[in-house]
Structure 1
């Protein structure tokens, strides 16, 4: 029914439908199963976000980008498996600090260089084992690696009920784990604004409102 739902979304584009999302089980259910629907959406200039790179790995991300025409990746956390960290010596590094050079594969480079947003879900990724290749604690989550390398990462809950989280709680978790400050939180929030399937003027207005709110919060923190 992918084609039917795609056509339904397009018919309602002026009545609140701003994009198309396909989600659910990844293993054995590649987006290419709905290639015709995604081709139709692209022909109608109707944006799509595709669930990929959580349960399944790089193949699902590749399929989401090619067959799914994805403008955002739902999760996409396993894009980090396409990044190799090569340890190197650095005389200027602090004692005990690990220093390395990141080598990005073709898929990771494509996603980063084109600013394709990643809908990362820290707590959920840990709970579901999506980051098992990196570790079994939240500090092993590649969120910060992706952020520092310039990927357009955004903060999401995945599902508040099953994961028992809130968006505020996810931000607090990132602050406690990676030491982010208000500037980092603003950047992550503006990434989400930029990734929204909204007209440019609406995104600019929203970004201005959010930035002003962060500026007020920073002023209170400095007082």
Structure 2
């Protein structure tokens, strides 16, 4: 962890010196099928003031519910620390419900299966709760297609979730496994849904609103970097 954070510090310094500053926040990830979530949660909190901004749990959903790691989540809540839970990709609504209502997730990794609780434009109780609470959905179009959570980019629920004003964000998931990048994911959405710069700005601002960094930093990045950059394109 010390080596990773030192590398990020060096890289950020080099970027700033080149006139292209970057802000890096690190998540530490535990795996659902392993029994080290408490240890990793404690490690995340230990490094919270030097670059680690949150905790994540990933891996197979079916057979490995997030409630198995409840001790880690309760510890993180007592420490006032942010965490996200991969839920609602390979498994459905029960996984999302447990992640939010039992474990207290700040964000949902994927969460794409929340559409199972939507009929047309009518939201079920869980979907309405997720939307009304502005719980961010870390949607990963290419990865969701590859895992079978969505039949294609054009049929990905991100279109519906955006129309219904969920806190939808665009992500890559595993860039190596999916052979993708943020630019590619955005381009795929442009091609599939006809999005323009205003829609991409909406996704980008959603992401920054949901970042695990202090509010004043999020606001500054939105108002001083994101909006001015998109204004030039718009």
With the shorter chain as reference, the TM-score category is 0.7 to 0.9
Under a length normalisation based on structure 1, what TM-score does the superposition of the two structures give? 0.87
Matched, 1:115 2:134: yes
- Structure 1 segments (4+ residues) deviating >3 Å: none
Under a length normalisation based on structure 2, what TM-score does the superposition of the two structures give? 0.83
Gapped regions of structure 1 (runs ≥ 5): 86-101, 219-223
Aligned-partner SS, 1:214: helix
Matched, 1:32 2:67: yes
Pick one of 90, 101, 111 that aligns with 1:76.
111
How far residue 67 of structure 1 moved from its aligned partner, in angstroms, is 2.5
Deviation digits for residues 54-105 of structure 1, max 9, x if unmatched? Answer: 00100100111022211100000000111011xxxxxxxxxxxxxxxx1111
Count of aligned pairs between the two proteins = 198
How far residue 137 of structure 1 moved from its aligned partner, in angstroms, is 2.6
Aligned-partner SS, 1:119: strand
Structure-2 separation of matches of 1:197 and 1:139: 30
Partner in structure 1 of residue 206 of structure 2: 191
Pairwise CA RMSD = 0.9
Matched, 1:11 2:46: yes
Pick one of 82, 86, 93 that aligns with 1:51.
86
Partner in structure 1 of residue 12 of structure 2: none
Gapped regions of structure 2 (runs ≥ 5): 1-35
1:15-164 correspondence to structure 2 within 5 Å: 15-85=50-120, 102-131=121-150, 136-164=151-179
Aligned-partner SS, 1:158: coil
Aligned-partner SS, 2:52: coil
How far residue 214 of structure 1 moved from its aligned partner, in angstroms, is 0.6
Aligned-partner SS, 1:203: helix
Aligned-partner SS, 2:60: coil
Aligned-partner SS, 1:140: coil
Deviation digits for residues 16-46 of structure 1, max 9, x if unmatched? Answer: 1111111111111111001111011111110
Structure-2 separation of matches of 1:12 and 1:161: 26
How far residue 160 of structure 1 moved from its aligned partner, in angstroms, is 1.2
Structure-1 separation of matches of 2:118 and 2:157: 10
Partner in structure 2 of residue 95 of structure 1: none
Structure of greater Rg? 1
Aligned-partner SS, 1:18: strand
Which structure is richer in relative contact order (CA contacts within 8 A, separation 6 or more)? 1
